[in-house]
Structure 1
Amino acid sequence: MLSLDMENENKNMERKPRFLCLHGFRTSAEIMKTQMHKWPQSVLDKLDLVFLDAPFPCKGKSLVEGIFDPPYYEWFQFNEETTEYYNFDECLQYIEDFMIKHGPFDGLLGFSQGSVLAAALPGLQEKGIALTKVPKVKFVIIIAGIKSRSPLLAEKAYFPPISCPSLHFLGEKDFLKHFGKQLLEYFVEPVAIYHSKGHTVPRLDDKSLNTVMNFIEKIQKDISENNE
């Protein structure tokens, strides 16, 4: 029995960090899964990635039409200035319901519109506004990140600064890179990877691969220590 207990303990120690992956605006879980395969298998093998479709069918043209097949989804809607969000509370409840049913999750990985959620949810959870029925979000990975321009959400989500470890990917040709750089200011110790591409999931060169592996090693260590 002792050897079986030790074996189970080792399995817990070696558990992969589990991330809920939130795709971009008017895309899908399947599309994001394809995008993430730009990363080496050596990285993907160290993470347990779960992909979720957003709750609302696409209400307009998708920028990925002709590149990826439909259906397309969106997490929430917004006004022309992107300062007001619609159906946002319904979106948060939808994510929490999924996390209750399919969790627990260690962290969130968000791309583009999904990054708005991934970046905001730890702060909203800390204040008891969202994800109140699931374990604390311990890590976030932000790809093509966007700081929310909604004053109401920003006030609730980013103050005080977010303390959980975060990894950010910022493209030099990303038309939204300004908002991604702003987002760094609201995390206590953000790790940033800059790449030469645009609004996309980037491939990893040797330098960025090393940074990603170091980040995974750090969060894996945190998970193992918490299991002791």
Structure 2
Amino acid sequence: MSKLRILCLHGFTSNGNVHKHQVRNITSQFSSEFEFIFPDGPYKVDLADGSPSELAKIRLWIDFVAANSTSGHRAWWFAKDPNPATNDLGGFQGLEKSLEYIGRLIEKSGPVHAIWGFSQGACFAGFLTSLLHEKQRGHHLRQHLPQQQGLPRVGVYFSGFKARFAQYDSVYEHGIEVPTLHIMGEQDHVVRIERSETLKSVCRDPRTLKHGGGHNIPESEEDMAIVANFLREALESKSRESL
């Protein structure tokens, strides 16, 4: 039996190894039949460009990334705000390169059965799952992804959000039709619950897990078990349906 592959997308200024470390207490609950894939975003983020006061605030994060990886700070894109004076609609600079990068990764690893992500990675995970809807095969952004990759079976979104630029509205036109779990921190001041609700609103079968923390992976054993059980059950039920 081939493995069930879960594509795991890190957040802005993180990287694959750091995200792997952050979710280790969830992924350790799975057998070897499950393969978790943790790629690095293709863009480097130089946090050293910040002011001394900004650097002091994020010093713990800089040290944490350095201690748990060698890839540095990474991103899937850089958000550019609209500029009405120049009729610039704004958008995600670098998005198409990241789509191509994920496309090559899938071609190498084989189709993935689930996509999860944290923060920017959760936005990307939802974006990808929307693009992989059967009715999106003609979408110009869909062309960056392998045709053999069908709709994943499930999505898990930690501190996720919907792309806020109008030019991407067509990506969500048919919604996300697989079971999804939306994990939201009640003290998250980076991606507030209202913003996470924007992604949940385009999902056809959403569940919600709220935890008492902030912009982080939930740390209680109960919450981590809920995430693991949801993912496992969704993947295994679809496997039984395909027998």
1:180 is displaced (CA, Å) by 0.9
Query: Where do 1:105-184 residues align within 5 Å?
Result: 105-126=112-133, 127-128=136-137, 129-130=141-142, 131-136=145-150, 137-153=152-168, 155-175=169-189, 176-177=191-192, 178-184=194-200
Cα pair 1:38 1:201 within 8 Å, conserved? no
For residue 68 of structure 1, what is the aligned residue in structure 2?
65
Is 1:202 matched up with 2:218? yes
Identity across matched positions, percent: 23
* Aligned partner of 1:97 among 89, 93, 104: 104
Cα pair 1:99 1:134 within 8 Å, conserved? no
How far apart, CA to CA, are the structure 2 residues paired with 1:47 and 1:147? 27
How far apart, CA to CA, are the structure 2 residues paired with 1:187 and 1:110? 15
Alpha-carbon distance change, 57 to 134 in structure 1, aligned in 2, over 3 angstroms: farther
| Alignment root-mean-square deviation, CA | 2.4
* Aligned partner of 2:26 among 29, 34, 39: 39
Please, which moves more after superposition, 130-139 or 16-25?
A: 130-139
* Aligned partner of 1:52 among 39, 61, 64: 39
Cα pair 1:55 1:74 within 8 Å, conserved? yes
Cα pair 1:43 1:213 within 8 Å, conserved? no
Summarize deviations over 1:113-137 as a string: whole Å, max 9, x none: 1111100112222212322423212
How far apart, CA to CA, are the structure 2 residues paired with 1:45 and 1:77? 35
Cα pair 2:175 2:204 within 8 Å, conserved? yes
For residue 7 of structure 1, what is the aligned residue in structure 2?
none
Is 1:216 matched up with 2:232? yes
SS in 2 for 1:65: helix
The count of residues paired between Structure 1 and Structure 2 equals 213
Which residue identity lines up with residue 95 of structure 1 in the other structure? I
Q: Which runs of 5+ in 1 are unaligned?
A: 1-11
For residue 51 of structure 2, what is the aligned residue in structure 1?
none
How far apart, CA to CA, are the structure 2 residues paired with 1:160 and 1:91? 22
Is 1:22 matched up with 2:9? yes
How far apart, CA to CA, are the structure 2 residues paired with 1:172 and 1:45? 33
After superposing on structure 2, the runs of 4+ consecutive aligned residues of structure 1 that deviate more than 4 Å are 43-46, 80-83
Cα pair 2:130 2:176 within 8 Å, conserved? yes
Alpha-carbon distance change, 125 to 211 in structure 1, aligned in 2, over 3 angstroms: closer
How far apart, CA to CA, are the structure 1 residues paired with 2:211 and 2:31? 19
Summarize deviations over 1:36-79 as a string: whole Å, max 9, x none: 12437325767421110011111445952122215111111112
How far apart, CA to CA, are the structure 1 residues paired with 2:91 and 2:215? 22
Alpha-carbon distance change, 32 to 211 in structure 1, aligned in 2, over 3 angstroms: closer
For residue 3 of structure 1, what is the aligned residue in structure 2?
none
Cα pair 1:39 1:204 within 8 Å, conserved? no
Superposition TM-score, scaled by structure 2 size: 0.78
For residue 85 of structure 2, what is the aligned residue in structure 1?
none
1:206 is displaced (CA, Å) by 2.7
SS in 1 for 2:216: coil
How far apart, CA to CA, are the structure 1 residues paired with 2:123 and 2:231? 21
Cα pair 2:15 2:74 within 8 Å, conserved? yes
1:209 is displaced (CA, Å) by 2.0
